[in-house]
């Protein structure tokens, strides 16, 4: 039994669960503030993280371990969009670093399948980081206009959905 791999996979599950909670929190607060683009991005990313939990859990069960479904920490109650993106980008870059290290650790313990799970997660987390980084750049470049545009798009969508008199 790969005890160390099971431990690392469970650590990943704790972080993924925390990310799901945090991104869902960001999703419904962006939605509430009318920022549909960002609300959608956080929702889709939370769903990706859910798939990561599933991948880790499947591997743990294959190794005959127990899946520990606890989030690594509390949700941070951030409502400012710039701060949301800052935290999200940090979470993704932290995960990327850790999963790279854990992939190597699994390889050293002759568990290449767990290594591959972590490697596949790294690819997704780098993509998530890139998405948040791009949105931070857009926000810095276009300032309030970037957010205003998202609200206007929502209003347009609502008008389009209103039946004509
Ligand atoms: Fe993830
Ligand atoms: Fe991620």
Closest listed ligand to the CA of 129: 2
Predicted confidence band at 26 (pLDDT cuts at 50, 70, 90)?
Answer: very high
Phi-psi region of 104 (alpha: psi -120 to 50; beta: other; left: phi over 0): alpha
Read off the pLDDT of each residue in 39-67 and give the average, rounded to a whole number.
98
pLDDT over 90 percentage in the chain: 85
Q: What pLDDT, on the 0 to 100 scale, is given for residue 164?
A: 46
pLDDT: is 155 or 79 the higher one? 79
Write out pLDDT tens, residues 68-95.
999 999 999 999 999 999 999 999 999 9
Predicted confidence band at 162 (pLDDT cuts at 50, 70, 90)?
Answer: low
CA of 103 from ligand 2 middle (Å) equals: 16
CA of 158 from ligand 1 middle (Å) equals: 33
DSSP line for the chain? --HHHHHHHHHHHHHHHHHHHHHHHHHHHHHHHT-HHHHHHHHHHHHHHHHHHHHHHHHHHHTT-------SSPPP----HHHHHHHHHHHHHHHHHHHHHHHHHHHHTT-HHHHHHHHHHHHHHHHHHHHHHHHHHHHHHHTHHHHHHHHHHHHHHHHHHSPP-
CA of 62 from ligand 2 middle (Å) equals: 23
Which residues are near ligand 1, the ion (C-beta closer than 5 Å)? 16, 49, 52
pLDDT: is 46 or 156 the higher one? 46
């Amino acid at each position: 039994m790969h005890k160390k791999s099971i431990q690392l996979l469970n650590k990943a599950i704790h972080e993924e669960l925390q990310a799901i909670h945090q991104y869902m929190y960001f999703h419904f607060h962006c939605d509430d503030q009318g920022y549909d683009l960002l609300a959608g991005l956080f929702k889709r990313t939370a769903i990706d993280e859910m798939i990561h939990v599933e991948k880790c859990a499947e591997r743990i069960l294959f190794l005959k371990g127990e899946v520990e479904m606890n989030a690594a920490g509390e949700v941070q109650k951030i409502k400012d969009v710039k701060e949301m993106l800052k935290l999200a980008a940090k979470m993704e870059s932290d995960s990327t670093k850790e999963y790279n290290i854990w992939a190597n650790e699994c390889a050293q313990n002759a568990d290449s399948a767990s290594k591959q799970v972590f490697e596949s997660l790294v690819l997704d987390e780098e993509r998530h980081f890139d998405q948040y980084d791009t949105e931070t750049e857009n926000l810095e470049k276009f300032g309030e206009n970037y957010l205003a545009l998202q609200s206007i798009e929502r209003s347009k969508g609502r008008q389009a959905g209103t039946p004509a008199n």
